């Protein structure tokens, strides 16, 4: 199974939770910008995680999802799970 | 104007306890009524426990016609209303319809009936263009939860102000607060007010699953609801109703009614923060508590008991503990605080009224109901939560609070009428 | 304690216009906005007409983050609240922490959102249900979202009394202002534009099955066949007259000077309906006599037996054809919790402009009603208006507004 990229993750977030008000300003630093600064809350993360679980057939740990602070952290969680499935 | 308002009748339908007497026995015994869901097969869901009522509407005196047209939420409310009227000793013939009103709180209204009917008209979710020929004639009553208030008004014979209040999980406090306001301003002499919710259905379980708000502790259903415990991990959904007769103090005294408690003060605030999240500092709830105490002309140290919202989610119990400290100061460490959702679960809009009933009954019996399932205190929740066992102690003034999705924060102070007469 | 409570801001989202100005202009012109349903295929249904808000692009008004988590009617409500606050010149962030509260009326919550999630649950399974379902459909959602968007931390509330709710919520907002809260937002915005909501509304048997827009909703007409549902409503900023004066409020539209709510006896009893008593109590609360009322905005059910009850109440209060009566909701349909709120906005605008807007499609009411039903715009000096509203099941509300003195 292919791994999720930052661009794909942000596209999923946009569909699930809209465009965070800090996304445009984050530029190249986006993967390490906190979700809070990007404008995403815990609901946005839960909605996104549920979508990834369905689309990629993976299981993510609930606490780890809401504790992810940046896109990079969430990606590594997802891609770790994707590897397990593969 | 500003008439003083008292509770003179209580009616309850709660998990494992139909009727006020059995409800109090359950609370005083510290007995959890949570169990694996029996209403439908819960196995596809993350959370599979709930606090269900073993409620047979026919046995409780409703007619087959009423059972057919009323959603369960309305059935619970009507049965509770009948009990509270009987308990109050008010003769329906003596009520002046024009001066009698009804306010019923409900967070999710007729959600069970709506889902059942949806499944029929959509052919199990297959049709977006649902089929009108399968719609039942009373579908509109499920669609608008003012139907709950309407049925109650017919039951009571009320022709004064009638409404449903729906402020999420503070509905059961806000409905009684609203009714008190109507009596105080002179719009009614007697209000039948309370709250009801019957949310244990697949759609409700699914939506709370999606935000991980309900507990996934399915292996120990009786120990699933653990407010203030270090190991708590979500609330347990419940159902039920509590309805009260409220009247002016003079009105109650004139007819020699038994008075359970006076509603000394009520206030609500919003956190304007998040639809489901809580600011950890508890400031808006503290502000509501301060305002309710000020209305009652009481200081924090006058409180003998605090009935907590205590839902058993990580964030709620922390938030609320902070609010108590903020509002009550050092006295927060000395006043007994308990969470009865440990026993009867969280019945959304109904719970606020069930908790008012618990406060009134605590005053009546001089016993503080415990927080069940609290074995491992959370260092972040460091108040006296009355763990496991009820405590015999006179209660002259009690505070009960609620917190709900949408940012609603409400607080109500109940007193023995002789306390505030001073 | 009974210091005057005034309206200083109006926000309208209605089939007749997406702000108060456009709504008023269309309403005075008698420009009806009832037409075939476009939000879903109405072909399978007995009733196929609605009052929809055409051309609403939520992304033009609201941040992208709010869109996935809001139902259509919540978006409408958020835009109306923005307009009301801007119109009042109130910037909540500049006010003390608990200075503004919000109380809205609801009927069925975010029903279209709920319909989609029910479909996902039953066709695909629980893991497909959205995290937003836990609040996007429920009755308290508009109050919650408005409070969050503007940082309103005062007392808030939600009332459900079907079509009477628009007035009941304003009365509750007035109570809070009288109790010392500086500003309250009140009113209602509503709508369930999905097949599931449509079938639920049709189940009353009171939704017209007439297919001609000009004939579908004709209250007080001899050929009345029910009503047409619509979407939208109005929200208001309320404050004390003293407060408005002290801050130099731009516009005082009028005072909410009287209100009462009653409930009808159960069907099948010999006790009389209570709409008339609600109106009498509201007039008494306002301290005005029936003779001082310049215009009545009728509930206008469009169902003969209900029209007769309202006509009886008006005749008893004002005498035969004793007061101009109008029902501009013939242009929008009945808007659930938004309907009476929109009528209140229209009443305040009518007072301001000195014009009674028309009831369309009812050139002559049934003679036995003995109504002076305004069927073409009528110039008049207006000071006091009575607005009536009834909710399914027996709810009655009456509100008296008085122009600025």
Chain C residues inside the 8 Å CB shell of A19: 64-65
Q: Do C65 and A47 touch (CB under 8 A)?
A: no
The CA dihedral of C42, C48, C49, C54, to the nearest 10 degrees, is 0
Note whether residue A49 is domain-resident: yes
3-state secondary structure labels for all residues of C183-198: EEEEEEEECCCCHHHH
Locate CATH 3.40.47.10 in chain C.
Answer: 5-247, 258-402
Superfamily of domain C5-247: Thiolase/Chalcone synthase (3.40.47.10)
Residue B309 is among the residues annotated as catalytic for this protein: yes
Segments making up each domain of chain B, as ranges: 5-254, 265-415
Q: Do C118 and B118 touch (CB under 8 A)?
A: yes
pLDDT digits (tens, 9 = 90+) for B333-373: 999 999 999 999 999 999 999 999 999 999 999 999 999 99
Task: Give residues 24 to 83 of A whose Cβ lies within 8 Å of C.
Answer: 39, 43-44, 46-47, 50, 53-54
SS3 content of chain A, % helix, strand, coil (to 5): 70, 0, 30
Q: Which of B271, B275, B261, B246 is nearest to B400 (CA)?
A: B261
Query: What residues does C261 pair with on adjacent strands?
Result: C397
Note whether residue A31 is domain-resident: yes
pLDDT band per the 50, 70, 90 thresholds, residue B142: very high
* Mutation site, A17, A19, A40, A50, interface C, largest C CB count within 10 A: A17
Strands (E), B288-407: 305-307, 337-338, 367-368, 391-392, 397-404
pLDDT at B422: 39
Query: What residues does B34 pair with on adjacent strands?
Result: none
Residues of B with CB under 8 A from a CB of A: 210-212, 274-277
Residues of A with CB under 8 A from a CB of B: 41-43, 46-47, 50, 62, 66
Chain A residues inside the 8 Å CB shell of B276: 43
From the list B251, B309, B319, B359, the catalytic residue is B309
Chain B residues inside the 8 Å CB shell of A53: none
pLDDT digits (tens, 9 = 90+) for B274-326: 999 998 899 999 999 999 999 999 999 999 999 999 999 999 999 999 999 99
Tokens 């991980």 belong to B212
pLDDT at C352: 98
DSSP type of residue B110: T
Subunits with 3+ Cβ pairs within 8 Å of A are: B, C
Distance CA C326, CA B222 (A): 60
Task: Kindly tell me if the per-residue pLDDT of B421 is higher than 80.
Answer: no
Task: Give residues 309 to 368 of B whose Cβ lies within 8 Å of C.
Answer: none
From the list B251, B346, B359, B381, the catalytic residue is B346
Note whether residue A64 is domain-resident: yes
B·C CB contacts under 8 A: 261
Note whether residue A59 is domain-resident: yes
pLDDT band per the 50, 70, 90 thresholds, residue A86: low
Query: What residues does C188 pair with on adjacent strands?
Result: C105, C234
Q: Which of B121, B150, B276 faces C393 most closely, judged by CB atoms? A: B150
Distances (CA, A) of A32 to A20, A35, B58, B280: 15, 9, 61, 25
| Residue B66 near chain C (CB below 8 Å) | no
Query: What residues does B270 pair with on adjacent strands?
Result: B408
Share of chain C above pLDDT 90, in %: 98
Tokens 């072909």 belong to C43
| Residue C61 near chain B (CB below 8 Å) | no
Is the domain C258-402 a CATH 1.20.120.1200 member? no
Query: Domain total for chain A?
Result: 1
Chain A residues inside the 8 Å CB shell of C68: 15-18, 47
Task: Kindly tell me if the per-residue pLDDT of A26 is higher than 80.
Answer: yes
pLDDT digits (tens, 9 = 90+) for B21-30: 999 999 999 9
Q: Do B270 and C101 touch (CB under 8 A)?
A: yes
Residue B169 is among the residues annotated as catalytic for this protein: yes
DSSP type of residue C163: B
Prediction pTM value: 0.97
Q: How far is B206 from chain A (nearest CA, A)?
A: 12
Mean pLDDT, rounded, of chain B:
97
| Residue B40 near chain C (CB below 8 Å) | no
Q: In terms of CA atoms, which chain A residue is nearest residue C67?
A: A18
Tokens of C113: 């959102």
Chain B residues inside the 8 Å CB shell of A46: 210-212
Is the domain B265-415 a CATH 3.40.47.10 member? yes
DSSP code string of C220-248: TSTT---B-BB-EEEEEEEEEHHHHHHHT
From the list B169, B251, B319, B381, the catalytic residue is B169
Residue B346 is among the residues annotated as catalytic for this protein: yes
pLDDT at B417: 78
Q: Which of A41, A46, A66 faces B210 most closely, judged by CB atoms? A: A46
| Residue C225 near chain A (CB below 8 Å) | no
Chain B residues inside the 8 Å CB shell of A62: 212
Residue pair C186/C259 in contact (Cβ under 8 Å)? The answer is: no
pLDDT at B63: 98
Note whether residue A1 is domain-resident: no
Distance CA B341, CA B213 (A): 14
User: Which stretches in chain C have pLDDT values below 70?
Assistant: 1-2
Distance CA C402, CA C400 (A): 7
Distances (CA, A) of B48 to B220, B235, C76, C170, C339: 10, 11, 36, 41, 41
* Mutation site, C58, C116, C131, C133, interface A, largest A CB count within 10 A: C131
Architecture in CATH of B5-254: 3-Layer(aba) Sandwich (3.40)
- First-to-last alpha carbon distance for chain B, in angstroms, is 19
pLDDT at B66: 97
Q: What are phi and psi for residue A59, nearest 5 degrees?
A: -115, 130
Helix C72-88 crosses helix C141-150 at what angle (to 10 degrees)?
40
Q: Do A47 and C68 touch (CB under 8 A)?
A: yes
Subunits with 3+ Cβ pairs within 8 Å of B are: A, C
Rg value, chain C, Cα: 20
Q: Do A43 and B276 touch (CB under 8 A)?
A: yes
Q: Which of C65, C127, C131 faces A20 most closely, judged by CB atoms? A: C65
Return the CATH number at A49.
Answer: 1.10.1200.10
Q: Which of C107, C163, C393, C262 is nearest to B151 (CA)?
A: C393
Mean pLDDT, rounded, of chain C:
97
- First-to-last alpha carbon distance for chain A, in angstroms, is 6
pLDDT at C2: 54
Chain C residues inside the 8 Å CB shell of B124: 122-123
User: Cβ neighbours of residue B301 under 8 Å, at least 6 residues apart?
Assistant: B331
Chain B residues inside the 8 Å CB shell of C139: 107-109, 145, 166
Distances (CA, A) of B187 to B324, C175, C290, C388: 34, 12, 21, 18
Tokens 């308002």 belong to B5
Q: Do B212 and A66 touch (CB under 8 A)?
A: yes
Residue pair C207/C201 in contact (Cβ under 8 Å)? The answer is: yes
| Residue C200 near chain B (CB below 8 Å) | yes
Q: Do A18 and C131 touch (CB under 8 A)?
A: no
Distance CA B269, CA B271 (A): 7
pLDDT digits (tens, 9 = 90+) for B143-169: 999 999 999 999 999 999 999 999 999
Q: In terms of CA atoms, which chain A residue is nearest residue B273?
A: A41
């Amino acid at each position: 199974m292919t791994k999720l990229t930052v661009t794909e993750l942000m596209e999923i977030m946009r569909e699930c939770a809209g465009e965070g008000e800090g996304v445009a300003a984050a530029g190249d630093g986006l993967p390490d910008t906190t979700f809070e600064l990007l404008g995403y809350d815990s609901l946005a993360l839960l909605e996104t995680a549920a979508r990834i679980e369905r689309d990629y057939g993976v299981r993510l740990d609930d606490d780890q999802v809401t504790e992810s602070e940046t896109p990079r952290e969430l990606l590594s969680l997802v891609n770790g799970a994707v590897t397990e499935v593969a | 104007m500003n008439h003083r308002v008292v509770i003179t009748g209580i009616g309850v339908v709660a998990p494992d306890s139909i009727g006020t007497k059995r409800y109090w026995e359950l609370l005083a015994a510290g007995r959890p009524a949570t169990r694996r869901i029996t209403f439908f097969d819960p196995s596809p869901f993350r959370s599979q426990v709930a606090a269900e009522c073993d409620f047979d509407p026919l046995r409780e005196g409703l007619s087959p016609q009423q059972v057919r047209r009323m959603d369960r939420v309305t059935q619970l409310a009507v049965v509770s209303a009948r009990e509270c009227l009987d308990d109050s000793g008010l003769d329906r013939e003596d009520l002046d319809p024009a001066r009698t009103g009804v306010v019923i709180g409900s967070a999710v209204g007729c959600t069970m009936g709506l889902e059942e009917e949806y499944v029929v008209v959509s052919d199990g979710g297959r049709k977006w263009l649902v089929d009108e020929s399968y719609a039942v004639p009373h579908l509109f009553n499920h669609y608008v939860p003012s139907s709950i208030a309407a049925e109650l008004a017919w039951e009571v014979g009320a022709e004064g102000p009638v409404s449903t209040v729906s402020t999420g999980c503070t509905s059961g406090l806000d409905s009684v607060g609203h009714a008190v306001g109507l009596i105080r301003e002179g719009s009614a002499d007697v209000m039948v007010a309370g709250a009801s919710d019957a949310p244990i259905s697949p759609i409700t379980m699914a939506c709370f699953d999606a935000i991980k708000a309900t507990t996934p502790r399915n292996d120990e259903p009786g120990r699933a609801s653990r407010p203030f415990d270090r190991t708590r991990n979500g609330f347990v959904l419940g159902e039920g109703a509590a309805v009260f007769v409220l009247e002016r103090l003079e009105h109650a005294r004139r007819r020699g009614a038994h008075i359970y408690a006076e509603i000394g003060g009520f206030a609500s605030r919003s956190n304007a923060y998040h639809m489901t999240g809580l600011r950890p500092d508890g400031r808006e709830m503290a502000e509501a508590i301060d305002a309710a105490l000020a209305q009652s002309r009481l200081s924090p140290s006058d409180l003998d008991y605090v009935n907590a919202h205590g839902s058993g989610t990580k964030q709620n119990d922390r938030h609320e503990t902070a609010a108590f400290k903020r509002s009550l100061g050092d006295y927060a460490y000395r006043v007994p605080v308990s969470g009865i959702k440990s026993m009867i679960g969280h019945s959304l809009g109904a719970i606020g009224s069930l908790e008012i009933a618990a406060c009134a009954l605590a005053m009546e019996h001089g016993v503080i109901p415990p927080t069940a399932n609290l074995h491992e205190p959370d260092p972040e929740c460091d108040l006296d939560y009355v763990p496991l066992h009820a405590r015999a102690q006179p209660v002259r003034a009690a505070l009960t609070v609620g917190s709900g999705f949408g940012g609603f924060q409400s607080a109500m102070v109940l007193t023995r009428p002789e306390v505030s007469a001073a | 304690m009974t210091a005057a409570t005034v309206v200083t801001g109006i926000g309208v989202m209605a089939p007749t216009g997406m702000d108060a100005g456009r709504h008023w202009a269309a309403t005075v012109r008698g420009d009806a906005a009832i037409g075939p349903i476009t939000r879903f295929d109405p072909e399978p249904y007995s009733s196929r007409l609605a009052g929809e808000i055409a051309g609403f692009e939520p992304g033009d008004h609201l941040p992208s983050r709010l869109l996935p988590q809001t139902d259509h009617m919540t978006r409408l409500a958020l835009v109306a609240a923005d307009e009301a606050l801007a119109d009042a010149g109130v910037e909540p962030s500049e006010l003390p922490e608990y200075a503004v509260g919000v109380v809205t009326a609801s009927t069925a919550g975010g029903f279209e959102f709920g319909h989609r999630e029910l479909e996902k649950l039953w066709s695909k399974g629980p893991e497909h249900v959205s995290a937003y379902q836990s609040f996007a459909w429920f009755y308290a959602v508009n109050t919650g979202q408005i409070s969050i968007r503007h940082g309103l931390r005062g007392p808030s509330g939600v009332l459900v009394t079907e079509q009477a709710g628009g007035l009941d919520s304003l009365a509750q907002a007035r109570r809070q202002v009288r109790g010392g809260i500086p500003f309250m937002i009140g009113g209602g915005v509503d709508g369930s534009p999905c097949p599931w909501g449509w079938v639920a509304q049709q189940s009353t048997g009171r939704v017209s099955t007439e297919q001609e827009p000009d004939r579908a909703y004709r209250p007080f007409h001899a050929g009345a066949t029910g009503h047409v549902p619509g979407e939208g409503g109005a929200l208001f900023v309320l404050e004390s007259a003293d407060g408005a004066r002290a801050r130099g409020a731009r516009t005082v539209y009028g005072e909410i000077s009287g209100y009462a709510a009653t409930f009808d006896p159960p069907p099948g009893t010999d006790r009389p309906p209570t709409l008339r008593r609600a109106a009498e109590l509201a007039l008494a609360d306002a301290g005005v006599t029936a003779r001082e009322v310049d215009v009545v905005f009728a509930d206008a059910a469009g169902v003969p037996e209900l029209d007769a009850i309202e006509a009886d109440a008006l005749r008893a209060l004002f005498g035969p054809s004793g007061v101009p009566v109008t029902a501009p909701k013939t242009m929008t349909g009945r808007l659930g919790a938004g309907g009476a709120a929109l009528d209140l906005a229209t009443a305040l605008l009518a007072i301001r402009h000195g014009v009674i807007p028309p009831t369309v499609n009812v050139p002559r009411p049934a003679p036995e009603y003995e109504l002076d039903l305004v069927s073409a715009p009528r110039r008049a000096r207006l000071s006091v208006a009575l607005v009536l509203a009834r909710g399914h099941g027996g709810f009655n509300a009456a509100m008296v507004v008085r122009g600025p003195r």
